[in-house]
């Protein structure tokens, strides 16, 4: 009889152990899951697009390409003549070309505004060897520390 009570108590303890294990796991995993799901949104500060400033150019480019595809399909189906196709597509091609050059200029101007820090090499104080690696902390010849 006494053994029977022990086994029932142990069965209940197993259930509680599983319940608390599951609860503790959810408490640990839930914040990471929420953080991950909130970071996947369009307006999330954790997921900024590096080429966000190019979005208007890319959208306009897609619109121009779609217009050209529509003209091409109209010409292929015989809805418009070759002269109409050329007269309607030339302005779109010119606008597309000017859009590409302005986008390239914007990208180049953005790249030029980023300062580039150039650090030249250094000379070892112990052996006098010149090191061309600017960020090296030790001399490759003698192994002495740069800051010694």
Residue range 78-134, pLDDT digits in tens: 999 989 988 988 888 889 888 888 888 877 776 555 554 545 667 788 888 777 766
Q: Does residue 139 lie within any of the structural domains? A: yes
Helices and strands (H, E) in the chain, number of each type: 3, 2
- Does 95 lie in the same domain as 62? yes
Q: Are 98 and 145 members of one domain?
A: no
Does 13 or 42 have the greater pLDDT score?
13
Least confident piece of the model among 29-38, 65-74, 110-119: 110-119
Q: Whole-angstrom Cα distance, residue 27 to residue 37?
A: 16
Q: What is the pLDDT of residue 5?
A: 63
Residue 68 forms part of a structural domain = yes
For residue 106, which of 73, 142, 66, 60 has the smallest C-alpha distance?
60
Residue 23 has pLDDT above 90, yes or no: yes
Q: Domain range spanning residue 139?
A: 117-148
Percentage above 90 pLDDT, the chain: 14
Question: Does 105 lie in the same domain as 147?
Answer: no
When divided into structural domains, the chain yields a total of 2
């Amino acid at each position: 009889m006494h053994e029977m009570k022990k086994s029932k108590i142990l069965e209940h303890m197993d259930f509680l152990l599983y319940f608390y294990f599951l609860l503790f796991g959810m408490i640990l995993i839930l914040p990471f899951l929420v953080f991950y799901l909130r970071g996947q949104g369009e307006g999330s500060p954790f997921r900024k697009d590096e080429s966000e400033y190019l979005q208007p150019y890319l959208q306009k480019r897609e619109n121009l390409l779609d217009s050209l595809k529509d003209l091409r399909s109209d010409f292929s189906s015989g809805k418009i003549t070759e002269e109409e196709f050329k007269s309607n597509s030339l302005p779109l091609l010119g606008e597309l070309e000017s859009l590409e050059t302005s986008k390239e200029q914007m990208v180049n101007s953005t790249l030029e505004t980023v300062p580039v820090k150039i650090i030249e090499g250094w000379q070892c104080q112990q052996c006098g060897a010149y090191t061309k690696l600017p960020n090296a902390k030790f001399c490759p010849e003698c192994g002495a520390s740069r800051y010694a």
